[in-house]
Copies of this chain bind each other. A is one copy, B any other.
Amino acid sequence: MNDAVKTVTAAVLVIGDEILSGRTKDKNIGYIAEYLTGVGIDLSEVRIVPDVEGEIIAALNALRSRYDYVFTTGGIGPTHDDITADAVAKAFGVPIDHDPRAVAILKAHYADGQLTQSRLRMARIPQGADLVENPVSGAPGFMIGNVIVMAGVPAIMQRMLDNIVPTLVSGTRMISETVSPGPGIGEGMIATPLGVIAREHPQVSIGSYPSFGPGGFETHLIIRGKDPDAVATAKLAVELMVRHVQEDKQMKNGQI
């Protein structure tokens, strides 16, 4: 293993009954996953829990003790079912109250008379947290310890991510190479030699991802790792193997 490789891990905690009921389809997990991969933070686990304080606290404590960062989405709006900020404060054992910085942001955002008591709830921030700005709708997210608390609305969550991620420690970027054998080469035809290559290249992880479309099954082989030489060497081995399997198939079909 290359000594210069640095690993930074993260988890995502999605909070919301509406995702678990299927009414709202989550669009944040895949976005955050791709975003973190791009900056060298390895997303290692995701959990989705309901709007229940005990569930949020238990999941948050399990994840924040285990990973370098935890990103939460959802539950920071003005209504009674928005309980994330209070749950995070309890998980950290700190008080929560209207934060003067957040109040100032909301006052600047809303027109006179529009900053209702309910909207002011969005300025409740656990003590010791830093704010994460939200240029879309004013109400900020926040970061406390290694936990980043973001909105659930994708357009807002994405801007919060833009604001916070550059301030985080990141690791060595994962390099990912794809070898696509093309239609007609199923997983079952390459699985044995692929397994041998995977064992022979322990510095990389090799995944085989079948998809099923109108043209039948197709497989994409993904070689992932943080050491460029190791990834390149493993990719070459996979390409040679695939070419061999393709030629073997053409020979059997009488095409060679």
- Using a CB–CB cutoff of 8 Å, the interface residues on chain A facing chain B are 14, 17-26, 29-37, 42-51, 55, 77-82, 114, 116-119, 121, 136-137, 153, 155-156, 174, 176, 187-192, 194-195, 198-199, 205-212, 217, 222, 224
Least CB distance, A2 to chain B, in whole angstroms: 19
Q: A50-B44, A118-B187 are in contact. Are A209 and B24 (CB under 8 A)?
A: yes
Interface residue from B155, B174, B195 paired with A21 (Cβ < 8 Å): B174
Cα of A42 to Cα of B55 in the assembled complex, Å = 15
Question: Complex: how many Å from CA A23 to CA B136?
Answer: 27
Contact of A44 among B20, B136, B187, B199 (CB under 8 A): B20
With the chains together, A14 CA to B155 CA distance in Å? 25
Given A77-B210, A81-B198, A188-B119, A43 and B21 contact (CB-CB distance below 8 Å): yes
Q: Is the Cβ of B192 less than 8 Å from the Cβ of A153?
A: no
The reply to whether B22 and A222 contact each other, CB–CB distance below 8 Å, is: no
- For residue A17, which residue of chain B has the nearest CB? B207
A23 partner, pick from B50, B114, B176, B217, beta carbons under 8 A:
B176
Given A22-B37, A81-B207, CB of A119 within 8 Å of CB of B191: yes
Contact B47 A21 (CB under 8 A): no
Residues of B within 8 A of A192 (CB): 116-118
Question: Which 3 residue pairs are nearest across A and B when measured between Cβ atoms?
Answer: A22-B34, A118-B191, A22-B33
Contact of A45 among B29, B47, B211, B212 (CB under 8 A): B47
- CB pair B37 A137 closer than 8 Å: no
Among B22, B118, B153, B189, contact of A43 (Cβ-Cβ < 8 Å): B22
